[in-house]
Amino acid sequence: MNQFRSTKWDHTIGYQILLIRDFLRDRDEETHHFDFSHFNFCPPMLSLFVSKLVKDNSFIFSPNPLKSSYHETICLLEGLDPDTTKDWKIHLEGYQQKTFLPLIRFGTKKDSESAQIRNNLISQVGQMIKSITGINANFFSGVSYLLSELSDNIVDHSLHSHGWISFQYYPSDRFIDICLGDSGYGVLASYQRYSGPKDYSYIHSDKIAIGEMIKGESTKKEDERGFGFHTSREMLIDGMGGNFSFISGEALLLNYKLLNFGTKFPGTLAHLRIPLRSLKSGFSIYDYVE
């Protein structure tokens, strides 16, 4: 049986990434069981990872005993989905006095009605983060940009029905974690399936694909550039003093270092850590957005 055995959660970024890598590397391809029976807290990177595996990839969750009230509160494995949650906005507003939000599962359909529901949901998530953390208007605009840009990337490129968002505020340490992910095809596949006039035949690995995405090489229309990912990274690291982590396939981006992940990650995962005590007073998104 595959399971995350540690019940002592370390919220450091490296620890979570290594835990995910080792699980994917060592998993039993036939069983895919998890045992979260002893967990009373799960950082947003890990809760999003296991939830998208179970919900989107048919992994088996075998609780022993049944899920705790904490698991229910963060909507572990299921996610808060506007398509299945009546009065989702009221449900989300019930987290005003908490330091976290439930896992959010949003649809990626592009028709006008679906897009409006998704935009309203992501906007409400941003408002809740502002309310919980007390960040000022300038930094709220940065958080809103990051949520919008990275969720749009999932909608435009994942080719999967849903994406995920998770959030946690650590008041004693004064930082926040935001995570976005999907169970789609990954960055490399986006270039491999491109059929336009550009020649992307040289993009044959996950590391090269992420490197080209950072440069703004887009699979959209011929006259469009895709600088949103680059802008998001620069805004978070340089403007907000944060840390940017991104995994797709066999590649791992840690701020400015592009590394081998060590195994294949299904889909993509972006993790944003923002330290609130060191936010720059003169921050403005207009210093980064073209």
pLDDT digits 0-9 by tens, 56-69: 877 665 554 446 78
Res 114 pLDDT > 50? yes
Tokens matching residue 169: 């505020």
Res 223 pLDDT > 70? no
What is the Cα 55 distance to its own chain's centre? 15
Distance CA 61, CA 76 (A): 11
The share of the chain scoring above pLDDT 90, in percent, equals 71
Q: What is the mean pLDDT of residues 111-137?
A: 96
The answer for residues whose C-beta is within 8 angstroms of residue 25's C-beta and 6 or more apart is 262, 263
Distance CA 73, CA 102 (A): 7
Whole-number mean pLDDT of the chain?
Answer: 89
What one-letter code names the amino acid at 288?
Y
The answer to whether the bond into 65 is cis (omega within 30° of 0) is: yes
Res 8 pLDDT > 60? no
Res 208 pLDDT > 90? yes
* pLDDT tier, 4 (very low <50, low <70, confident <90, very high otherwise): low
Q: What is the pTM of this model?
A: 0.93
Tokens matching residue 37: 């029976």
Res 206 pLDDT > 70? yes
Lowest mean pLDDT among 9-13, 176-180, 225-229: 225-229
Phi (first) and psi of residue 48, to 5 degrees: -70, -45
Distance CA 42, CA 9 (A): 7
Q: Say how many CA atoms lie within 13 Å of 245 toward its Cβ.
A: 19
Res 171 pLDDT > 80? yes
C-alpha closest to that of 149 among 226, 222, 44? 226
Q: What is the mean pLDDT of residues 28-39?
A: 59
